C-alpha cells in the first residue's frame, strides 16, 4: 500500500468513526431545540472541557502555528498562553459563569436571546445574531478551505481542492444534522484527547531520533540563533499583545464557544474546567509549536505552500504515524466546523426566524428548521470557499477580530446595571462599523502605532457603550433584574 493510500485510509476511517459516535448520540437525542443545541444542559467536566478545547483548535495547532514557529521562532507559545491560558480562562469565569447562571434561570440558548430579553428588544437580539452569523461565515469557509488544501496536498492533486472541501462539507452536514450538540461534544472529547496524545508522541518520537531537546535546541542555536532570543522584528510587543487580546476576547464571543457557556450541568463543572485551562494550553501548544522550531534547526526543507509538521514527521517517524497526525488536524478542523454550523443554525432559528418571521413555531418544527439551516449555511460557505478569497491566516484573523468587537458591550451589560439599550446599540454598532471600515475601505487605517484596528475598535465599543448608557435612561421594558438577581420583576 502506498503512503497516500495509508494516509487516506486513516483519514476516511476517522471520518466514519466520528459518524458512528454521532449516530450513537442520535439515539439518545430528544427532538427538542434545547436538546439539539445544548444537550439539555447536561455536560460534565471532561466533556465540557474537551468540547470547548477541541472547538477552539483549528488547523492552526498542527499547521499554521508550527509553520509560524518554523519561519519566525516559537514566540507564538507565549501569545497562545496569554490568549487561551489566561485571558480566555478569566473570561470563562467572568463571562461564562455569569451567563450560565442567567441562562439556567431563564432558559436562554443564545447570546442574542439573553441580551434581547434583558434589554426588552427584539432588534438587539436580531442585531447580535446577524453580526455573529456575518463573522461566522468566513470562519466556516476557512475550515473548508483548510480541509480542501490539506486533502489535495496529501494526494498530490489527485483529489482536487473543490472535491476535498466538498467531501468534508458533506460529512459535516450529515453529522451535525443527525447528532446535534451531544454527538458533537462526544466526538470532540475523543478528538481533544487524541490530539493531546498524538502531539506528545510526535514530539517525543522526533526528540528520541535526534538525541533529546538539548541537541535539538542546540541545532536551532546553530542555524537560527535569533529564534531563541525573545522577540524579533516580527514578534513586536504590540503585535503579540494585539493578537492575544483580540483573539482571546473574540473567542468568548464566538457562537460555538459562547453557547457552550450554557451547557454545563453544575457549578462544579465550571470550576474544574476553569482550573484546567492553563494546564491544557501548556500541554498542547508547547510541544506542537516547538516541533516547528526544531524542524528549522534540523534542516527540514519546507516547499512554499506546504506544512512543516507532516514533512518533519515523514522524516523521523513511520508513514502511518504521520497520517495519524494529519487525521488529528482534520479532526481539529471538523470539530471546529461542526460546532460552528450548529451554533449558527441556532442563532438563525431562535434569534432571526422566530422573532421576525414566525413566533408561533413549535419545538419540533424549530428543531427541523435548525437542521435545514445547517445544510443551507454549509452549502453557501462551501461555494464561497471555492473562490479562495484570502489566505487562511487573513480570514481567521478577520473573523476573530470581528467577534472581539462584541466583547466589551456584552461585558458592560453583564456587570453594569445602568447599561441601556441605546448604549448597547451605540457600542455594538459603532465598533462594528469602525472595524468593517478599517477592513474593507482605505479611509480607516488598519494599524495605529503598531496596534491593530481591532483593539482600537474594542476600546471604541467600550467607550460608546458606557458613554451613551450614561447619557440615556432605560426604556420601560428593559429588565435589569434579568442580569442582577434571582428575582424576576
Of residues 69 and 333, the one with the C-beta less far from other proteins: 69
Nearest to 53 by CA among 327, 393, 332: 332
Of 114-122, 236-244, 332-340, 393-401, the window that binds other proteins (rule: CB under 8 A) is: 236-244
Residue 305 engages other proteins in binding (rule: CB under 8 A)? no
Smallest separation, CB 224 to other proteins (Å): 11
Nearest to 402 by CA among 247, 258, 239, 259: 247
- Phi/psi of residue 264, each to 5°? -65, 145
Kindly state the cell numbers that stand for 91.
473570561
Kindly state the cell numbers that stand for 2.
502506498
Residue 210 engages other proteins in binding (rule: CB under 8 A)? no
Residue 77 engages other proteins in binding (rule: CB under 8 A)? yes
Residue 437 engages other proteins in binding (rule: CB under 8 A)? no
Near other proteins by CB under 8 A: residue from 205, 274, 321, 451: 274
Smallest separation, CB 221 to other proteins (Å): 7
Residue 107 engages other proteins in binding (rule: CB under 8 A)? no
Smallest separation, CB 434 to other proteins (Å): 25
Of 57-65, 147-155, 226-234, 320-328, the window that binds other proteins (rule: CB under 8 A) is: 226-234
Of residues 134 and 484, the one with the C-beta less far from other proteins: 484
Residue 484 engages other proteins in binding (rule: CB under 8 A)? yes
Rg (CA), the chain: 22
d(CA 239, CA 397): 13
Of residues 10 and 240, the one with the C-beta less far from other proteins: 240
Residue 476 engages other proteins in binding (rule: CB under 8 A)? no
Kindly state the cell numbers that stand for 183.
454527538
C-beta contacts of 88-93 below 8 A and 24+ residues apart: 88/248, 88/251, 88/252, 88/277, 89/274, 89/277, 89/278, 91/248, 91/249, 91/251, 91/252, 91/407, 92/252, 92/270, 92/273, 92/274, 92/277, 93/270, 93/274
Number of H helices, E strands in the chain: 22, 2
Residue 271 engages other proteins in binding (rule: CB under 8 A)? yes
Near other proteins by CB under 8 A: residue from 209, 213, 376, 470: 213
d(CA 168, CA 330): 9
Size of site (CB under 8 A) for other proteins? 58
Per-residue binder mask for other proteins (CB under 8 A), 248-267, x = binder: ------------------xx
Residue 89 engages other proteins in binding (rule: CB under 8 A)? yes
DSSP-derived 3-state class of residue 450: coil
Kindly state the cell numbers that stand for 123.
432588534
Residue 275 engages other proteins in binding (rule: CB under 8 A)? yes
Judged by CB under 8 A, the chain residues 125 through 164 that form the site for other proteins are: none
Residue 209 engages other proteins in binding (rule: CB under 8 A)? no
C-beta of residue 36 within 8 angstroms of C-beta of residue 124 = no
Nearest to 119 by CA among 465, 431, 467: 465
As to burial, measured by CB atoms within 10 angstroms (0-12 exposed, 13-18 middle, 19+ buried), residue 313 is: buried
Task: Please report, as ranges, the residues that interact with other proteins according to CB under 8 A.
Answer: 74, 77-79, 81-82, 85-87, 89-90, 94, 97-98, 101, 104-105, 212-214, 216-218, 221, 225, 228-231, 237, 240-241, 244, 266-267, 271-272, 274-279, 281-282, 286, 290, 415, 417-418, 474, 480-481, 484-487, 489
Amino acid at each position: 500500500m502506498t503512503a497516500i493510500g495509508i494516509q487516506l485510509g486513516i483519514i476516511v476511517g476517522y471520518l466514519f468513526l466520528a459518524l458512528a459516535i454521532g449516530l450513537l448520540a442520535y439515539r439518545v437525542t430528544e427532538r427538542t431545540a434545547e436538546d439539539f443545541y445544548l444537550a439539555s444542559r447536561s455536560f460534565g467536566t471532561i466533556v465540557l472541557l474537551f468540547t470547548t478545547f477541541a472547538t477552539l483548535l483549528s488547523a492552526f495547532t498542527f499547521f499554521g502555528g508550527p509553520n509560524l514557529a518554523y519561519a519566525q521562532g516559537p514566540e507564538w507559545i507565549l501569545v497562545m498562553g496569554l490568549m487561551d491560558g489566561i485571558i480566555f480562562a478569566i473570561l470563562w469565569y467572568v463571562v461564562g459563569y455569569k451567563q450560565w447562571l442567567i441562562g439556567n434561570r431563564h432558559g436562554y440558548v443564545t447570546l442574542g436571546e439573553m441580551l434581547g430579553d434583558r434589554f426588552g428588544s427584539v432588534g438587539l437580539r436580531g442585531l447580535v445574531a446577524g453580526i455573529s452569523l456575518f463573522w461566522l461565515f468566513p470562519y466556516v469557509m476557512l475550515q473548508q478551505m483548510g480541509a480542501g488544501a490539506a486533502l489535495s496536498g496529501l494526494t498530490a492533486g489527485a483529489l482536487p481542492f473543490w472535491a476535498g472541501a466538498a467531501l468534508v462539507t458533506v460529512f459535516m452536514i450529515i453529522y451535525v444534522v443527525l447528532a446535534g450538540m451531544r454527538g458533537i461534544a462526544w466526538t470532540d472529547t475523543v478528538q481533544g484527547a487524541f490530539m493531546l496524545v498524538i502531539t506528545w508522541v510526535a514530539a517525543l518520537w522526533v526528540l528520541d531520533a535526534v538525541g533529546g531537546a538539548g541537541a535539538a535546541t542546540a541545532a536551532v542555536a546553530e542555524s537560527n540563533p535569533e529564534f531563541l532570543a525573545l522577540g524579533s522584528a516580527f514578534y513586536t510587543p504590540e503585535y503579540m499583545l494585539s493578537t492575544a487580546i483580540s483573539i482571546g476576547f473574540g473567542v468568548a464571543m464566538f457562537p460555538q464557544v459562547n453557547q457552550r457557556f450554557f451547557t454545563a450541568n453544575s457549578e462544579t463543572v465550571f470550576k474544574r474546567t476553569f482550573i484546567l485551562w492553563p494546564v491544557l494550553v501548556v500541554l498542547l501548544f508547547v510541544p506542537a509549536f516547538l516541533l516547528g522550531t526544531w524542524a528549522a534547526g534540523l534542516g527540514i526543507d519546507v516547499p512554499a505552500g506546504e506544512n512543516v509538521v507532516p514533512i518533519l514527521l515523514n522524516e523521523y517517524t513511520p508513514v502511518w504515524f504521520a497520517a495519524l497526525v494529519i487525521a488529528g488536524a482534520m479532526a481539529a478542523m471538523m470539530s471546529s466546523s461542526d460546532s460552528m454550523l450548529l451554533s449558527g443554525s441556532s442563532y438563525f432559528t431562535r434569534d432571526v426566524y422566530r422573532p421576525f418571521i414566525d413566533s408561533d413555531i413549535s419545538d419540533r418544527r424549530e428543531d427541523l428548521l435548525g437542521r435545514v439551516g445547517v445544510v443551507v449555511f454549509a452549502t453557501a460557505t462551501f461555494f464561497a470557499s471555492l473562490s479562495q478569497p484570502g489566505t487562511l491566516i487573513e480570514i481567521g484573523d478577520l473573523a476573530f477580530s470581528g467577534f472581539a468587537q462584541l466583547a466589551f458591550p456584552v461585558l458592560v451589560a453583564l456587570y453594569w446595571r445602568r447599561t441601556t439599550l441605546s448604549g448597547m446599540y451605540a457600542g455594538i454598532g459603532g465598533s462594528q462599523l469602525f472595524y468593517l471600515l478599517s477592513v474593507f475601505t482605505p479611509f480607516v487605517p488598519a494599524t495605529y502605532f503598531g496596534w491593530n484596528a481591532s483593539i482600537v475598535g474594542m476600546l471604541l465599543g467600550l467607550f460608546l457603550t458606557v458613554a451613551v448608557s450614561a447619557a440615556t435612561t432605560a426604556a420601560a421594558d428593559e429588565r435589569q433584574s434579568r442580569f442582577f438577581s434571582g428575582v424576576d420583576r
